[in-house]
Amino acid sequence: MKEEIINQIQVQMLPYLNNEQLKALQSVLEHTFYSVTITTENVPDTTNKNAVTAFIAAKRIEGCSEKTLAYYQNTIQAMISGIGKAAQQITTEDLRAYLTEYQNEHKISRVTIDNIRRILSSFFSWLEDEDYIVKSPVRRIHKVKTAKIIKETYTDEALELMRDNAPSLRDLAIIDLLASSGMRVGELVTLNRDDINFAERECVVFGKGDKERLVYFDARTKIHLQNYLVGRDDDNSALFVSLKFPHDRLQIGGVETMLRELGRQLNLTKVHPHKFRRTLATSAIDKGMPIEQVQQLLGHQKIDTTMHYAMVKQQNVKNAHRKYIG
């Protein structure tokens, strides 16, 4: 309790003292409260709710999707509830104990626990920037080391198998559009017929945070899209609709189910929409496309994200070594 009071006093004095003076104040307060015993009654505290609400509002203004905001909010509230303190009173030791216990209890991977750490770091850094706290308690909790796993991509043979065995013209067009554009499945299902520019073989999609960007598709995709649209007898504006009446807009789950069933029939492992995106990125880099252009093509804000998608083939590294080094 004494730590909490000292921390609150420091927060109140932030506008008036520099870092050296704050350290001196902390030393004086710790000495003063050393032999003091403090008790308090349990009273409802709205500080946590206000801090989390303000943080989520700030992230919403930055353009985060509602899905991301919900994940942030649930993660932060679970942490506060698990520790049982106000956000301004949480220490580095509290967080270390919480993360360790959470990982053991839920049997989650190091990747997942590091995602939680990143969210908490963002939250407490924001509290620090907004003068809610003196210093983020996550500063001394370093990135969790994780094993680098090379995720699978589709082979050329697998792609051709899916094309040859697509159940319908619609499904063939979906496979081609995902394979040639690298768009997200969430972007694909929101497309309308009018969004497609067949002359330029391009379309505008709205990515994460409603960010608009151009994506491109190849000649084969153009032909298969046109064949699919010519065969449509509904008036739905959506680019892709369900095969059965009333032909509603196709949802993400519909695309995932179609691909999963197709993969099962063809005895292909892990067939899902996102794998097309990773395959495109890997193929583009292997063929010499600059990483910055791949980043723009995929709509990534940070180039580090693009590097996670694109796994350069070892044979190409070997060939490059012989070409440039000997």
Q: Domain segments of the chain: what residues?
A: 2-129, 156-321
The Cα–Cα gap between 214 and 195 comes to: 10
Q: For the full predicted model, state whether its pTM sits above 0.75.
A: no
98 in Cβ contact with 138 (< 8 Å):
no
Mind listing the pLDDT tens digit for each residue in 113-134?
Answer: 999 999 999 999 999 999 888 8
pLDDT tens for 308-320 read: 766 655 566 667 6
The region that residue 253 occupies, defined by phi over 0 for left and psi between -120 and 50 for alpha, beta otherwise, is alpha
Q: 175: which residues sit within 8 A by CB, 6+ positions away?
A: 159, 162, 163, 166, 259, 276
> What CATH architecture does domain 156-321 belong to?
Orthogonal Bundle (1.10)
User: Can you give the pLDDT at residue 289?
Assistant: 87
Over the stretch 166-221, which tens digit does the pLDDT of each residue have?
A: 999 999 999 999 999 999 999 999 999 999 999 999 999 987 767 788 999 999 99
Burial class (CB in 10 A: 0-12, 13-18, 19+), 99: buried
Cα 23 from chain centre: 38
66 has pLDDT over 90? no
| Stronger pLDDT, 96 or 33, i.e. the higher one | 96
Q: Name the pLDDT band for 32 (thresholds 50, 70, 90).
A: confident
Tokens of residue 187, six digits: 């972007």
